[in-house]
Structure 1
Amino acid sequence: MLLRLTTGDRVPVDGEITQGEAWLDEAMLTGEPIPQQKGEGESVHAGTVVQDGSVLFRASAVGSHTTLSRIIRMVRQAQSSKPEIGQLADKISAVFVPVVVVIALVSAAIWYFFGPAPQIVYTLVIATTVLIIACPCALGLATPMSIISGVGRAAEFGVLVRDADALQRASTLDTVVFDKTGTLTEGKPQVVAVKTFADVDEAQALRLAAALEQGSSHPLARAILDKAGDMQLPQVNGFRTLRGLGVSGEAEGHALLLGNQALLNEQQVGTKAIEAEITAQASQGATPVLLAIDGKAVALLAVRDPLRSDSVAALQRLHKAGYRLVMLTGDNPTTANAIAKEAGIDEVIAGVLPDGKAEAIKRLQSEGRQVAMVGDGINDAPALAQADVGIAMGGGSDVAIETAAITLMRHSLMGVADALAISRATLRNMKQNLLGAFIYNSIGIPVAAGILWPFTGTLLNPVVAGAAMALSSITVVSNANRLLRFKPKE
């Protein structure tokens, strides 16, 4: 079904633009106040508003299947869940009620046998006052109100929390691990240089490399094909993907290899003569892709994936908050270290194949670290599941998003800093509420039981006790509502 949108329209369903361009306000989904330009082939989501322009789009999801509906379900699920600290509060409440009843009965008995006349009146007043003032409303509200406010505020910043337990775990983290491609970087690699070392010119090297990459789904393959543009590419026979290394095949009667240095070394193709160029490109943050023809290295394609525009600022925020930052990548160590230096990363784990990422997270955890993993691809899913808290970029794969405990609707690493700041603020708010409820009951119950009588000759009026009980609940709710105005520090 095709639908047309013009300026001022609210998008009714999810879909993909087939014609035209428009600026859309996606603030209700992503928390990003700046309208986003959308064109042919890009997605639009239900609930967003067309600020300017006109487009024709094809519906892809309606009703409960739209992104907005999924967000609402996730928020409701998270707000109704309880973290470990909330379950502890419930256990305390379960014990608290019978303990208060016992205290009321014991206090009543003491006043009945040892209190002034008329004993029965004092006994009833004391028992009633203790039961009124000790109503566990504040204790019961302490964690749910903080969760509702914290999860709601997180959603306003484009941070979707799967359950309240994820909020608590996120508040205790000390290490944040980032996948490189598509997370720290834009995920749009570009060929920035082509170097040749034999009787092969740049155009021929690029043409053969692009021909090989036609059969590959790797992000670097897309970059090489884009660079080749409209070149006439030869047919490739015997195409093979060599996991973690590159690709191979035959074209125009030549045996071709295209991949990293490890591939050429494995195939016993000498790379010593071009070692200096490999190191030079890698030290600039580019990934060297080597082309070998008939067992001889003939060209190097330098592919660079630029950092996201806000990566450095977001990582600086995390540094200031005290987190150790780690980059996890399958890239070679030289390239990885160059990018890490540019971004401000503390530690680099390079040369990791997709199935080794979860093991890398496990090793960090074995060192006693509380680890968050930030990723966006299918290959990040095992690591996201292994981490104490998995954080998926909203533009990533469905598998990654389903595996993660927290999803960022904005394609920005600022969301990571926001998510962790909100989680800390929410847990701090819970503890404040629980401490307040504890102090209130620690003071209120003895006073209601008449502990001040020997010193002042006065008892707490049941009406005042009721007002104090209501005030304690109002205090807890008001403190939790402060989270609705919480602003993470830049």
Structure 2
Amino acid sequence: MLADGFDRAEVLALIAAVEAQSEHPIAEAILRAAEAEGVARHDAQKFTSITGYGVRAEVSGHDVLVGADRLITHEGLDIGALADEERRLAERGRTALYAAIDGRVAAVIAVADPVKRSSAAAIRALHDLGLKVAMITGDKRETAEAIARETGIDHVIAGVLPDGKVAALDDLRGTGQHIAFVGDGINDAPALAHADVGIAIGTGTDVAIESADVVLMSGDLRGVVNALEVSRRTMRNIRQNLFWAFGYNVALIPVAAGLLYPVTGLLLSPVLAAGAMALSSVFVLTNALRLRRVRPAMDDAAKAATAPRMSPLPAE
């Protein structure tokens, strides 16, 4: 939706020039919209990313700001009549951004990030494992709660900056729970590093991937469920191997030391001892190789389901 006195094509062209310098998924959606409408292409100068707020650049002599409402408020600009439109968009689960040109709010932009069918399935699977799911986001509470209702998320923490995500993890950890955090963006990097286990989406930014302990190769959240399943089976396998290795040594080391010789005259030949030791190693290795047969916790057919990418809504 445009403010009075602004042209749609011109505003979209200026916004797209700024977003072309950004790695955020929302930027990709805006660029696709600009390409679809064939708007003029401009180059942006003096690009600045304001963490947790938005981006700023100079385009064709214009000072252009694109970001959340807190960026506009921080700059002391008047949102005016666009505030009501932003609120309606947020209640529909849309991500709403403002664009300001030369110190005037020019437009509110709605970006739809459709919930993947696989995401709701992943959350159900996490619930089946006895886990609670929270969403920590910089989006407005109305947007976050709309998505939470759709997917079955238990707890929502919205409207937070990157440092706020770290504080939210500390609050959740205060209940005595271990925390795994899943994220893909620059703003998620501090929380990924701070969580007990940071899980990065492989399709996300490089800084998020570098900050995480686990990287999922796809953008499917069901990979989180599969990672938990593989981790649990791996730890169970390690405990099994430790048990059998320890029991094996407890049983045979006394025999090899001659403990039974005074009573039974039984000694363990060095050749047999070496063979038994090799057999122990083969047993442990074979047991570990069973992990290669672990199947994904989520159904393969369901995993093949895909969802539309983030896409811009038509402006009014």
TM-score (norm: length of structure 2): 0.70
> What is the alpha-carbon distance in structure 1 between the residues aligned to residue 47 and residue 283 of structure 2?
69
The one-letter amino acid of 1:462's match is L
Provide the secondary structure at the position in 2 that maps to 1:324. coil
Aligned to 1:480: 288
- Shift, 1:285, TM fit: 1.6
Provide the secondary structure at the position in 2 that maps to 1:449. coil
- Out of 6, 11, 14, the residue aligned to residue 211 of structure 1 is 14
- Shift, 1:330, TM fit: 1.9
| Bigger radius of gyration among the two | 1
Provide the secondary structure at the position in 1 that maps to 2:18. coil
- Out of 98, 107, 114, the residue aligned to residue 306 of structure 1 is 114
Aligned to 1:224: 30
- Shift, 1:425, TM fit: 0.8
Cα pair distance change 1:276/1:477, threshold 3 Å: same
> What is the alpha-carbon distance in structure 2 between the residues aligned to residue 474 and residue 398 of structure 1?
40
- Shift, 1:211, TM fit: 1.4
Aligned to 2:131: 323
- Shift, 1:485, TM fit: 1.7
> What is the alpha-carbon distance in structure 1 between the residues aligned to residue 205 and residue 50 of structure 2?
23
Provide the secondary structure at the position in 1 that maps to 2:96. strand
Unpaired runs of at least 5, structure 1: 1-194
Written as runs of structure 1 = structure 2, the 5 A alignment for 1:4-403 is 195-196=1-2, 199=4, 204-205=7-8, 207-216=10-19, 217-218=21-22, 219=24, 220-228=26-34, 229-232=37-40, 243-246=51-54, 258-266=66-74, 267=76, 269-271=78-80, 274-291=82-99, 299-308=107-116, 310-403=118-211
The one-letter amino acid of 1:215's match is V
Pair 1:406 & 2:218 matched: no
Cα pair distance change 1:233/1:401, threshold 3 Å: closer
- Shift, 1:432, TM fit: 1.2
Structural RMSD (CA): 4.1
- Shift, 1:430, TM fit: 1.0
Aligned to 2:313: none
> What is the alpha-carbon distance in structure 1 between the residues aligned to residue 69 and residue 249 of structure 2?
68
- Out of 413, 417, 424, the residue aligned to residue 225 of structure 2 is 417
Alignment deviations for residues 202-221 of structure 1 (CA, whole Å, 9 cap, x no partner): xx245324414423434334
> What is the alpha-carbon distance in structure 1 between the residues aligned to residue 139 and residue 266 of structure 2?
71
> What is the alpha-carbon distance in structure 1 between the residues aligned to residue 64 and residue 268 of structure 2?
90
Aligned to 1:36: none
8 Å contact kept, 1:212–1:249: no
Provide the secondary structure at the position in 2 that maps to 1:288. strand
Aligned to 1:148: none
Provide the secondary structure at the position in 2 that maps to 1:315. helix
> What is the alpha-carbon distance in structure 1 between the residues aligned to residue 64 and residue 118 of structure 2?
39
- Shift, 1:288, TM fit: 1.4
Cα pair distance change 1:386/1:254, threshold 3 Å: closer
8 Å contact kept, 1:354–1:379: yes
> What is the alpha-carbon distance in structure 1 between the residues aligned to residue 102 and residue 203 of structure 2?
41
The one-letter amino acid of 1:269's match is D
Unpaired runs of at least 5, structure 2: 299-316
> What is the alpha-carbon distance in structure 2 between the residues aligned to residue 249 and residue 479 of structure 1?
58
Provide the secondary structure at the position in 1 that maps to 2:283. helix
8 Å contact kept, 2:82–2:107: no
Cα pair distance change 1:451/1:352, threshold 3 Å: farther
> What is the alpha-carbon distance in structure 2 between the residues aligned to residue 247 and residue 401 of structure 1?
22
Provide the secondary structure at the position in 2 that maps to 1:462. coil
> What is the alpha-carbon distance in structure 2 between the residues aligned to residue 478 and residue 449 of structure 1?
30
The one-letter amino acid of 1:227's match is A
Provide the secondary structure at the position in 2 that maps to 1:285. coil
- Shift, 1:395, TM fit: 3.1
8 Å contact kept, 2:51–2:187: no
- Shift, 1:303, TM fit: 0.9
8 Å contact kept, 2:14–2:64: no
Alignment deviations for residues 134-173 of structure 1 (CA, whole Å, 9 cap, x no partner): xxxxxxxxxxxxxxxxxxxxxxxxxxxxxxxxxxxxxxxx
> What is the alpha-carbon distance in structure 2 between the residues aligned to residue 238 and residue 437 of structure 1?
63
> What is the alpha-carbon distance in structure 2 between the residues aligned to residue 409 and residue 235 of structure 1?
33
8 Å contact kept, 1:212–1:247: no
Cα pair distance change 1:253/1:313, threshold 3 Å: same
> What is the alpha-carbon distance in structure 2 between the residues aligned to residue 375 and residue 333 of structure 1?
18
> What is the alpha-carbon distance in structure 1 between the residues aligned to residue 43 and residue 290 of structure 2?
64
Percentage of matched positions with identical amino acids: 45
8 Å contact kept, 1:329–1:336: yes
Provide the secondary structure at the position in 1 that maps to 2:225. helix
- Shift, 1:261, TM fit: 2.6
TM-score (norm: length of structure 1): 0.48
Aligned to 2:312: none
Residues 378-387 or 425-434, more deviating: 378-387
> What is the alpha-carbon distance in structure 1 between the residues aligned to residue 71 and residue 8 of structure 2?
18
8 Å contact kept, 2:15–2:99: no
8 Å contact kept, 2:64–2:100: yes
Pair 1:449 & 2:259 matched: yes
- Shift, 1:428, TM fit: 0.8
Alignment deviations for residues 375-421 of structure 1 (CA, whole Å, 9 cap, x no partner): 33444333332222333333333443333332333343333222221
